[in-house]
Amino acid sequence: MSSFEGKVAAITGGASGIGRKTALLFAQKGADISISDLQTEAGEETRRMVEALGRKCLFMKVDVTKEAEVAEWIQKTVSTLGGLHIGINNAGIDGVAAYTDSYPNDVFQRVMDINVNGVWYGMKAQIAHMKANGGGSIVNIASVAGLMALPRNIAYTASKHAVIGMSKVAAVEYARKGIRVNAVCPSFTETPMVIDSLVRQDSGLDLETMGQMNPMKRIAQPEEIARAIVYLCSEDASYVNAHSMIVDGGLSVI
The residues spanned by each domain of the chain are 8-249
Element housing 156 (H / E): helix 154-174
Q: pLDDT band for 89, please (50, 70, 90 cuts).
A: very high
What tens digit of pLDDT does each residue of 92-103 get? 999 999 999 999
Work out the number of other CB atoms within 10 angstroms of the CB of residue 100.
11
Q: Give the confidence band of 11 by pLDDT, cuts at 50, 70, 90.
A: very high
Active site residues: 156
Provide the Cα torsion 12, 115, 164, 21; round to 10°: 30
Please give the C-alpha separations between residue 84 and each of 12, 140, 243, in angstroms, as whole numbers. 14, 16, 22
What does the pLDDT average to over 21-34? 98
C-alpha closest to that of 122 among 136, 109, 134, 133: 136
Confidence (pLDDT) at 84: 98
The region of weakest confidence among 111-125, 181-195, 229-243 is 181-195
Question: Would you state the pLDDT for residue 99?
Answer: 96
Residue closest to 184 by CA, chosen among 149, 221, 139: 139
Of the listed ranges 7-11, 109-113, 203-207, 243-247, the least confidently predicted one is 203-207
What integer pLDDT is reported at residue 178 of this predicted model?
98
The pLDDT value given to residue 202: 61
In CATH terms, 8-249 corresponds, of 3.40.50.1470, 3.40.190.10, 3.40.50.720, 3.30.70.260, to 3.40.50.720
Bridge partners, residue 136, by sequence: 179
Per-residue confidence (pLDDT) for residue 239, from 0 to 100: 98
> Does the pTM exceed 0.75?
yes
What is the C-alpha to C-alpha distance for residues 212 and 102, in angstroms, rounded to an integer? 29
pLDDT in tens, 123-149: 999 999 999 999 999 999 999 999 999
pLDDT at 197 over 80: no
Q: Are 76 and 10 in contact (CB under 8 A)?
A: no
Residue 204 has pLDDT above 70, yes or no: no
pLDDT at 200: 62
